[in-house]
Amino acid sequence: MKLLIMGPPGVGKGTQAKKIIEYFNIVHISTGSLLRDEIRKNSNIGVVASSFIDKGRLVPDKTLLSMVKKRLSETDCDNGYILDGFPRTIDQASGLEKILEKMGHNLDFAISLYAEKDELVSRLIKRGNDSGRSDDNIKIIIERQKIYWEQTAPILDFYKKKNILNNINGLGKINIVTKRILKVVEKNA
Ligand code: AMP
């Protein structure tokens, strides 16, 4: 099972990805988490990444593509994985295609979670009270929403054309949203 989950910041990608990996016993690859690990290690990637993340901007495609390529080549990915928060640009989506092709992998589903912008902003403001994330503050939250619609939403069409896109309502209780996702995935599996 190889999936990706996308949607605007705050829609619950990470929360749902955690439920899905438990259900299918696959690996969770969150590029946001990988980048935050690099920042904690104070690595070269981390130093560059924090300058973008703190402004709510996207980290350059080249960095993301080499990070994901390396992660996908690790043996725990052989059983399947869910990509969370990647790809986020058209260049990342086409770069991922090339990586997967070389590895002989095929994406089974792209899940796109959607919700109202106002709901997302208020969720992120609430999350910011506990998350300790440098990018969960109102100015950056709004910037991240804008960037999603400008740079990431266009890739929905990319996966629609491949016939693997599933739009799923991300509003509601966590377990209800998980059920919506599993219903779609199992129906098409
Ligand atoms: P997330 O945890 O997915 O909300 O990501 C947090 C931040 O990490 C984003 O706002 C971006 O600055 C950066 N980031 C995560 N994934 C990507 C990606 N695929 N491309 C570029 N930047 C990313």
Å from CA of 30 to ligand 1 middle: 9
CATH superfamily of this structure's domain 2-182? P-loop containing nucleotide triphosphate hydrolases (3.40.50.300)
Q: Per the confidence metrics, is the pTM higher than 0.75?
A: yes
In this prediction, residue 93 carries a pLDDT of 98
Is 144 annotated in the active site? yes
Is 133 annotated in the active site? yes
Q: With the CA atoms of 182, 148, 85 and 110 taken in that order, what torsion angle do they form, in degrees rounded to the nearest 10?
A: 40
In this prediction, residue 186 carries a pLDDT of 87
In this prediction, residue 182 carries a pLDDT of 96
Report which ligand 1 atom has the smallest distance to the Cα of 147. Answer: 10
* Active-site residue, selected from the candidate residues 70, 88, 180, 187: 88
Is 70 annotated in the active site? no
In this prediction, residue 132 carries a pLDDT of 84
Exposed/middle/buried for 59, CB within 10 Å: 0-12, 13-18, 19+?
Answer: buried
In this prediction, residue 99 carries a pLDDT of 98
Å from CA of 113 to ligand 1 middle: 16
**Ligand 1 cavity residues, CB under 6 Å:** 9, 31-32, 35, 52-53, 56-59, 64, 85-88, 92, 135, 144
* Active-site residue, selected from the candidate residues 70, 127, 160, 187: 127
Task: State the Cα angle at 4 between 9 and 34, rounded to 5°.
Answer: 65
Report which ligand 1 atom has the smallest distance to the Cα of 87. Answer: 19
pLDDT by 10s per residue, the chain, length 189:
999 999 999 999 999 999 999 999 999 999 999 999 999 999 999 999 999 999 999 999 999 999 999 999 999 999 999 999 999 999 999 999 999 999 999 999 999 999 999 999 999 999 888 888 888 889 999 999 999 999 999 999 999 999 999 999 999 999 999 999 999 998 877
How many other CB atoms are there within 10 angstroms of residue 118's CB atom? 8
Å from CA of 69 to ligand 1 middle: 16
Report which ligand 1 atom has the smallest distance to the Cα of 86. Answer: 19
Is 36 annotated in the active site? no
Task: State the Cα angle at 19 between 53 and 147, rounded to 5°.
Answer: 25
Å from CA of 187 to ligand 1 middle: 30
